[in-house]
Amino acid sequence: MHLPVLGARSAVREPREEPRWTDWRWQLANMLTTVDELATYVQLSEAERAGFAVSKTLFRVGITPYYASLMDPVHASCPIRMQAIPATAEMTIREEELRDPLGEDARNPAPSVIHKYPDRVLFLVVDRCGIYCRHCNRRRLVGGDEPPTTADLEAGLAYIAKTRRIRDVLLSGGDPLLLSTRRLDYLLGRLRAIPHVETIRIGTRLPVVCPMRIDDELCAALRKHHPLFINTHFNHVKELTPEAVRACERLVDAGIPVGNQAVLLRGVNSSVRSLRALFRALLRARVKPYYLFQGDTVIGTDHLRTPVETAQELYRQLRGYMNGMAIPQLVLDAPGGGGKVPIVPNYIESLDEREVVVRNYRGLQVSYPQPTERDCTVAYDAVQFADEPADDDSDPA
């Protein structure tokens, strides 16, 4: 699709006039990957053009027309543009930054499976995305030329089936909702047939960048595989368009709880005002804010990360000032595979056997008396749960 080069928004044909605009397959087939294509939507700054020039050595570019239509046509500081358009700052690589920041490659016991936590695994079912986020922590794997094969997926399913400590499977990639509905339905059915798999999750950004993918056919297929959960990835309230909200509500109406995993990004959402607006809007859309991630130490993303103390101060100004349901967990995914670690501010001033002194969200000290009885043994557990297999807490690596 070729539109006139943008001078001002009023001078450009409205891209949504494209007759196939609401067809998710058309959106994905017409992803914008070049300067010329994106220039039909925005006035690219010299810095953005320079970012495109070096992007081939960094990480591929791919943006759905829908997501590009959300961009401010003039201002390069637009939070949508900053997430999707490459920057020359990505070429600045610190020694501490990692190709595999979460230590996944060392915990890959079968093709397409990452087993980092004792009772759950990542199942990487596709290597493509509906957008290639500039903060992507899996850029070494996505957007390449070697997607998982049928043999890879079968080997992954076999590993999950034989490993009884796995109770939860998270489909990821890439974006699992890029699979055809029929293919996705098949994989979910195979997982649901494994007796020890209790819950299935899907991680996807398509409700954000291609909400037309969440159609009736998809929802009908997904609702067959409960308990099923979806986590998506809104980072700014500007992304919560009427189309995106309808997509989330359609999933919820199909009985699928939807959570959101946001990443704290410098200049994108690194203000109290931005975070409050995002989390309140998510809750209005019936999406539970789940995680707020400190940026991962992935190669070329130092310019997007905030200091941890900044993250803690932002979080401090959420707690108590908003509905608790709207406040996600603030976590750091420890480099090298250490797992998610809460980094919330410390509200405990002192603690002993007699009392705990805390400082509340208004800065006031409050004393909480400790119970006099210290023994917390629960004798009933031994009776009630005697037949349940013991948890295997060993490190799967």
Q: How far is CA 80 from the centre of its chain?
A: 15
Smallest CA-to-CA distance from 271 within 260, 279, 259, 261 is with 279
CB atoms within 10 A of CB 275: 26
Q: Which residue has the higher pLDDT, 101 or 240?
A: 240
pLDDT score for 194: 98
* Mean pLDDT to the nearest integer, 298-321: 91
3-class DSSP assignment, residue 114? strand
Assess contact for 327 and 320: CB atoms under 8 A. Answer: no
Assess contact for 153 and 104: CB atoms under 8 A. Answer: no
Share of the chain above pLDDT 90, in %: 67
pLDDT reading at 281 higher than 70: yes
pLDDT reading at 198 higher than 80: yes
Q: What is the pLDDT of residues 116-142, one digit of tens each?
A: 989 999 999 998 899 988 887 776 667
pLDDT score for 90: 80
Mind listing the domains of the chain with CATH numbers?
Answer: 9-91 (no CATH), 105-342 (3.20.20.70)
386 falls in which pLDDT band (50, 70, 90)? low
How far apart, in whole angstroms, are the C-alpha atoms of residue 355 and residue 334? 32
**String of b and e for 295-311 (b: at least 16 CB within 10 Å)?**
bbbbbbbbbbbbeeeeb
pLDDT score for 339: 82
Q: How far is CA 24 from the centre of its chain?
A: 20
pLDDT score for 26: 96
Q: What is the pLDDT of residues 210-258, one digit of tens each?
A: 999 999 999 999 999 999 999 999 999 999 999 999 999 999 999 999 9
CA distances from 187 to 124, 150, 153, 176, 243 (A): 12, 11, 9, 10, 27
